[in-house]
Amino acid sequence: MKDTVYEPIKLDGPAGKSITRRSGREKVTGKATFSAEWPMDGLLYATPVVSQISRGRIIRIDSSLAEALPGVYKVLTPENLPSFTRLPASGEGNFSSIVASKVYPVAERDIYYAGQYIAAVIADSFETARDAALLVQVEYESMPSETNIRRAEGSEQPGSVSGAPPTVDEQNAEQVLSAAAVQVDQEYFTEGNYHNPLEPHATIAHWTIKGGKPYLLVYDSSQSLALARQTYAQLFNLDASQIRVVCQYMGGAFGSKGLMWPHSILAVLCSKAVNRPVKLVVSRNQLYGGTGYRTPLIQRVALGASQDGLIEAIIHAGSASTSEVDQYTESFTLVTRMMYQRKALKLEQFQCRLNTQVPTFMRAPAEAGGVFALETAIDELAVKLEVDPVALRIKNEPVKDLFSSKPFSSRHLTTALQEGAKAFGWHRRRKTPRELRDGSWLVGFGVSAATYPSLGFPTQVTLRIGSDGTAKILCCSQEMGTGTATVQAQLLADLLGIPQGRVQMKLGDTDLPAGGISGGSATTGSVGGAVRQAYDKLKERLFELLASDSKLRKVPIDQVQFIDGALVYKNEMARFEDILMDANRDFIDVDGSFSPSFQTSTSNHSFGSQFVEVGVDEDLGLIRVRRMLGCFACGTILNARTARSQFLGGMIMGVGQALQESIRWDHRLGRITNDDFAEYHVPVNADIPEIDVLWIDNPDFNATPIGAKGIGEIGITGVAAAIGNAVYNATGKRLRTLPMTPKEFLSS
Ligand code: MOS
């Protein structure tokens, strides 16, 4: 095997530098136009009417009162809904569309979950639409529903779990477990979560005519603009050229805007029905049910080890939820395939059908829940073996990915654990619980490994190189708020050898070359991979444009280098802007693409370590995080400032998952009781202590052409386990349920 899949590149200019996000000023001065904010002539407002029951049938919808309200244009019901093509949902293996659920808005008479969109009011103001929605009278026939994963736990298995069968048993793991000298066998429960991006889901849709044909313009807060266009095309029988989808800014998404949820389809249907532009902003309440959530998980992790701490058997099994009619598979056992060495492995996933919106991916899908169970069990094993949990993890480092038998593209988990431990002052941890106090607080230290796969999605870019010395990256990727436009400009500036201020990225518009979904921490590597390929072609293009009397022409092209924005051979050099000027060209376009099919010879993952210090007030059941440190190995870091923000954001979200966030159900009614920020608790500043973020310099050219493995999601993984492990170290009490609320602490 070659050393690396991609030829390493040296990035020593603008890439990696700590540069402020380019959209920062627009955002803080209110000039950034978010998807709900585009001014449109004749704009109307739509509000969905949502189901108040969680399962049953609609008998009758009476919209006469609503229609009588001044300002109401139309009430859409199943009777007068414009036509569309029913596509299978993406979870059924339909990868050409991103329809999240086959329960289409306003189209159904059957109710599958509370919050289902069953009618819609279109009015001349948001307030009128909302008022009128309350006047729509719906008569239901109610049927029993199930929203409790503990009651629904069953024997159904998903078709596959990230490409493998739902049950995998290598070397009879149960037998190896029961023969092992030291055993841990526990159940872990994690509650469901909602993404709750600050910017609500929102769509403005406008049907017009262009060139004699219908033309659909959509402003959509979406992580998948190119796929959204493809999906609208299929839903409404249009050619892709008849659709433009735009999203210039996003106020958070975390996976909740990756697929197409009913409100987007509904906005387009509303616009079609009234032949006017229509805006639909999902309210905070209607987000709960209107969009997908992180499934609760019931997990069993069992570990068998020899007396000297070598893991012999790993078993990871359990249940996730999916909805009554749709399929979503949360691959919570994925991490366990490759994390540690072992002799025997058993993985088994079940699913239960709940009367909810279909679950979906939420920041570090699979890993956020899976790592909590696995890394808590590892800590429990360390306690039984009476060894340091950092040392136990290092001792069980695998030589390769034992599941796929492929070598790791790079790993560095040992370094991340060692460097993290050193920086955190891990040596000050007491081996025995209840030894460290600070006033009324018992203090403890905890550690966990962090990991997330390094993924990629097909991406195309065009580089527009100008005779004015500037360069543009054109790509329909999206600015999630993470700094995509900033870091890609840094990358290209570095490759071209010019100041980063001379490079811009245009994104967020399907009129640009198609990018992939901004999910799976894959944007930087995928877009960057396409940028690199286009850059690699640039030298040839410029060479062709050289003036016929240029001395460089006589030199074989492979001896000409591209350095600091110029073709160079010995003392001869020609800057790209001069080449273009001489050739009478304002600009040239060079295309590049990235395909993840190149990434298959190695097992590609990011790794890291999380260290946490907690204080626990045993009388009140309060758990306070006092210090946190994360140390990550994610390959090339293109911007120190935006990268730190990503890691910080992930770690803070991990605190939410660990201590606060939970969907609370009234299972009798099948309804969510905490559907707003007053009741669904997320961390605020007072919950968050000093956080240190470190990373290891390890460009990984097996994983992506620019060596970046992705950083958006790994930050959340391991945080909950590290907090729980720290609580054990402080108090001797093991919490196996998330979130670890005061009630949970006091009752366990
Ligand atoms: Mo992320 S949950 O893959 O958008």
- The residue type found at 325 is V
Indicate which atom in ligand 1 lies nearest the CA of residue 712.
Answer: 1
Confidence of residue 2 (pLDDT cuts 50, 70, 90): low
- Kindly give the pairing relationship between strand 243-246 and strand 213-220: parallel
Mean pLDDT score of the chain: 96
**Which tokens sit at 575?**
């800057």
pLDDT, mean of residues 17-31 = 94
- Which residue, among 325, 268, 263, has the nearest Cα to 290 in the 3D structure? 263
Whether the bond between 88 and the residue before it is cis, its omega within 30 degrees of 0, is: no
Confidence of residue 598 (pLDDT cuts 50, 70, 90): low
**Which tokens sit at 672?**
């969510």
CB of 701 closer than 8 Å to CB of 7: yes
Cα-to-centroid distance, 332 and ligand 1 (Å): 14
Indicate which atom in ligand 1 lies nearest the CA of residue 713.
Answer: 1
pLDDT in the model for residue 92? 84
Confidence of residue 600 (pLDDT cuts 50, 70, 90): confident
Give yes or no for residue 607 having a pLDDT over 70: yes
pLDDT, mean of residues 86-102 = 91
Question: Using N-to-C axis directions, what is the helix angle for 367-385 and 640-659, rounded to 10°?
Answer: 70
pLDDT in the model for residue 152? 87
**Which tokens sit at 315?**
């078993």
Give yes or no for residue 305 having a pLDDT over 60: yes
CB of 93 closer than 8 Å to CB of 294: no
For the stretch 651-673, pLDDT in tens is 999 999 999 999 999 999 999 99
Measure the CA–CA gap between 729 and 431, rounded to whole angstroms.
Answer: 8
CB of 589 closer than 8 Å to CB of 464: yes
pLDDT, mean of residues 120-130 = 98
Cα-to-centroid distance, 1 and ligand 1 (Å): 32
Percent of the chain at pLDDT above 70? 99
pLDDT in the model for residue 599? 65
Indicate which atom in ligand 1 lies nearest the CA of residue 518.
Answer: 4
Residue in 221, 254, 524 to alter for ligand 1 test, most ligand atoms within 8 A of Cβ: 254
Indicate which atom in ligand 1 lies nearest the CA of residue 255.
Answer: 4
pLDDT in the model for residue 1? 44
CA separation (Å) from 711 to 51, 327, 394, 605?
Answer: 38, 28, 22, 11
What is the per-residue burial (b if ≥16 Cβ within 10 Å, else e) of 565-597?
bbbbbeeebbbbbbbbeeeeeeebebebebebe
pLDDT, mean of residues 286-304 = 98
Lowest-confidence region among 142-156, 329-343, 390-404, 595-609 = 595-609
Measure the CA–CA gap between 345 and 370, rounded to whole angstroms.
Answer: 15
Cα-to-centroid distance, 508 and ligand 1 (Å): 17
Indicate which atom in ligand 1 lies nearest the CA of residue 253.
Answer: 4
> Which residue ranges form the domains of the chain, and what is each CATH number?
395-455+601-748 (3.30.365.10), 456-594 (3.30.365.10)
Give the DSSP letter string of 143-204. Answer: ------HHHH--S---S-BTTB-SEEEES-HHHHHHHSSEEEEEEEEE--B----SSPPEEE
For the stretch 206-224, pLDDT in tens is 999 999 999 999 999 999 9
Percent of the chain at pLDDT above 90? 96
Cα-to-centroid distance, 712 and ligand 1 (Å): 8
Give yes or no for residue 154 having a pLDDT over 90: no
Cα-to-centroid distance, 216 and ligand 1 (Å): 27
Residue in 250, 259, 293, 363 to alter for ligand 1 test, most ligand atoms within 8 A of Cβ: 363
Which protein residues are within 6 Å of ligand 1, measured from CB?
Answer: 223, 254-255, 258, 361-363, 365, 519-520
Measure the CA–CA gap between 153 and 559, rounded to whole angstroms.
Answer: 66
What is the per-residue burial (b if ≥16 Cβ within 10 Å, else e) of 503-532?
bbbbbbbbebbbbbbbbbbbbbbbbbbbbb
Residue in 713, 714, 717 to alter for ligand 1 test, most ligand atoms within 8 A of Cβ: 713
Give yes or no for residue 3 having a pLDDT over 80: no
Cα-to-centroid distance, 301 and ligand 1 (Å): 25
Cα-to-centroid distance, 338 and ligand 1 (Å): 21
Cα-to-centroid distance, 359 and ligand 1 (Å): 13
Indicate which atom in ligand 1 lies nearest the CA of residue 520.
Answer: 3
- Kindly give the pairing relationship between strand 182-190 and strand 737-738: parallel
Indicate which atom in ligand 1 lies nearest the CA of residue 364.
Answer: 2
Rounded to an integer, what is the distance from CA 492 to the centroid of its chain? 25
| Nearest residue by C-alpha to atom 4 in ligand 1 | 255
Indicate which atom in ligand 1 lies nearest the CA of residue 360.
Answer: 2
- Which residue, among 496, 564, 526, 445, has the nearest Cα to 710 in the 3D structure? 526
**Which tokens sit at 400?**
């390769």
Cα-to-centroid distance, 613 and ligand 1 (Å): 28
Residue in 361, 477, 716 to alter for ligand 1 test, most ligand atoms within 8 A of Cβ: 361
Give yes or no for residue 153 having a pLDDT over 80: no
Torsion of CA 737, 738, 739, 742, to 10 degrees: 10
CB of 336 closer than 8 Å to CB of 401: no
**Which tokens sit at 518?**
């901004």
Indicate which atom in ligand 1 lies nearest the CA of residue 517.
Answer: 4
pLDDT in the model for residue 6? 87
Cα-to-centroid distance, 363 and ligand 1 (Å): 5
For the stretch 698-737, pLDDT in tens is 999 999 999 999 999 999 999 999 999 999 999 999 999 9
pLDDT in the model for residue 165? 98
Indicate which atom in ligand 1 lies nearest the CA of residue 365.
Answer: 2
For the stretch 441-484, pLDDT in tens is 999 999 999 999 999 999 999 999 999 999 999 999 999 999 99
- Which residue, among 220, 31, 65, 203, has the nearest Cα to 133 in the 3D structure? 65
Cα-to-centroid distance, 615 and ligand 1 (Å): 31
pLDDT, mean of residues 306-312 = 98
pLDDT, mean of residues 66-82 = 98
This prediction's pTM: 0.97
| List of residues 6+ apart from 19 with CB closer than 8 A | 486, 490, 500, 639, 641, 642
Cα-to-centroid distance, 365 and ligand 1 (Å): 7
Cα-to-centroid distance, 440 and ligand 1 (Å): 40
- β-sheet bridge partners, residue 590: 463
